[in-house]
Each structure stands twice: as structure tokens, then as C-alpha cells.
Chain A
């Protein structure tokens, strides 16, 4: 069975500090990996995606993530956070070449940026 694990339910950080949100996945087949962000009372917005190629992917709002196949990880990073980055962040996987496009989500990490 496939799964996504986000061990940190909440990550408090001060403004302008760097942050890393951890994501590990489990799958017996190749996958695509995604990070989505959910601001309060809003839907999910795609931050970045890893489909193939370079293992370092850059997304919107200064976020980047690194795919590590040997560690089955896809951690999200930002060198300097802003108050406006406060939101829930979800890591998700999708089967590569599967019969369906469904996303399997982690439980989410609340990034709480403090002044």
C-alpha cells in the first residue's frame, strides 16, 4: 500500500528564519510527488511538483523541495519565511503511469510563522 508521512503536525518558526517541512513516502512503484499549500478558508494550491529529472525542484513563493529516492523523502524548504507563509502544507503522491490520477495525501504540517 502507498502512503505519505508528515511527521511534524506543527512547525513554529520565527520570521526570516529558514524552515524545512519533512515528507516521507512509501510506494512499490514509481511516483510523482507534490506539495500543496492550504491557506485558511481556502482550497489547495500547488506549490511544486516532482515528475522526473532534476531532484531539486523549485516552486512558487520561494519554496523548493528535494527528491531523495534512496531515503524516500521529499522535504520542502524555504531559506527565509514570511508571516504570510503561515498555512497548512500537504505532501502528496501520485502513481506514475497508473490507471488513475488520484492523490494520496499526508496528514499535513501547520507552518506557524511568528514575528
Chain B
């Protein structure tokens, strides 16, 4: 058990809809990361937050947004969903913002019908 909790484990929805994925980092970790794992793109970094502030952005679509709350949990919001958004979305956390190993949750599997 990595200590990183992601909910829900599975999500099935339709095109055009909006969903929210939730992540609780390990106790004591201030940094949260979101990654997308898909068959065609592999594992791609989306965004990083550190202590409530956005730290780095990767290949995150404009339809996607995230935030980290004062209690350090994070949410990834995906809107106007398309079939291609079907993927496994991972959250990871680390103690600091740089030079730290990351610990991953079990992911949320998003299926768009």
C-alpha cells in the first residue's frame, strides 16, 4: 500500500460529460502529481501541485483542470469528455517539490462510452 488514495476506482460516463477524480496524498507529502496512462500515449505527466500551488504543467488539455486544496488532497476535473479521454489516471505524491521519489495510487479507470 503506497498510502496514496484515489477515488473512484472506476468511472463510466458518456461523451460530453464532466467528471471529477479525487486523490489523497500520503501523510506528510506536500506535492501531488497527475498522470494519464493510455494505450496510444503511454504514461504522460499532466500537472503537479505543491502545497496548494501549481508547480508544473505537462500535456494537459484545456478541457482538463486540477487543484490542490488546503488539506492537500487534489482533484482532477475533466470536461467535455471525448472517447479518446478513456484512460487510467494516476495520482502520485512526494514530500517535496523536486528531487523526490514519487509514490503512486492505484489509479482511476475512466471509460467513455
Contact = CB atoms under 8 A, between A and B. Distances in A.
B2 A101 contact: no
Interface in B73-107: 90, 92, 94, 96-107
A99 B103 contact: no
Interface string A8-39: 00000000000000000000000010101000
B104 A34 contact: no
Interface residues of B, number: 28
B48 A101 contact: yes
B104 A101 contact: no
Interface string B37-61: 0000011110010000001101000
Looking at chain A's contact residues, the main secondary structure is: loop
A45 B70 CA distance: 27
Counting contact residues on chain A (CB < 8 A from B), the size range is 20 to 34
Interface of A: 32, 34, 36, 41-46, 49, 51, 90, 92, 94, 96-108
Interface of B: 2, 4, 31, 33, 35, 42-45, 48, 55-56, 58, 90, 92, 94, 96-107
Given A43-B105, A99-B98, A106-B42, 17 more contacts: A42-B106, A43-B2, A43-B107, A45-B2, A98-B98, A100-B48, A100-B55, A100-B97, A100-B98, A101-B31, A101-B33, A101-B97, A102-B33, A103-B33, A103-B45, A103-B92, A105-B44
